[in-house]
Structure 1
Amino acid sequence: DQGIAGEYEVVTHHASSGQRAQKITGSGLGLHNQINVFQDTKIDPGKTYTASSRILVESLSNAKVNLTVDYLDEQYRFTGAHYETSQNTTTDG
């Protein structure tokens, strides 16, 4: 959306495992605006998968952090979604 600024950076600190973490900084966000990072993963039908995230909140107030899994068919058409939401009103991480 117009007026929203997002910065994306791979950092070597705050990684919960491995050596790198994805840092996202957003500004100019209003009600119902969002900053996103995506990872496409091909899956095999009939297998069970687990999606998880570890999120360090450095500065956030009156906003939500979501982990969303979108389901797409072979032609990348949206077929459904599942999401988990965390309400954050403090900036204590």
Structure 2
Amino acid sequence: MNINASEFKAKCLKLMDEVATTHEPLVISKRGKPLVKLVPIVDETPKSMFGYMKGTVTIHEDILAPLDELWSAENSDEDDLYTSLRPGEGKK
């Protein structure tokens, strides 16, 4: 929305309330040239940290069901990685 500076001066309080409720910026012109833009202030900080990420996570499967694959600890795949940590082993 555009408005002339003299008209804005006459209706400034009403226009400020309108911008605050509609969240639509207002461009104020002087002699036909855009001069300033009036925009509402938006508070981007959440009121409470509790629940501010609600709706951002999607669960695709049952998160409590056991996995179909074995962990490395169950497979003994990585036993050679831990031999140096056992006392008396891995030192030559």
TM-score (norm 1): 0.27
Of Structure 1 and Structure 2, which has the larger fraction of its residues in strand? 1
TM-score (norm 2): 0.27
Of Structure 1 and Structure 2, which has the larger fraction of its residues in helix? 2
Of the two structures, which has the highest relative contact order with CA contacts closer than 8 Å and spacing of 6 or more? 1
**Structure with larger Rg:** 2
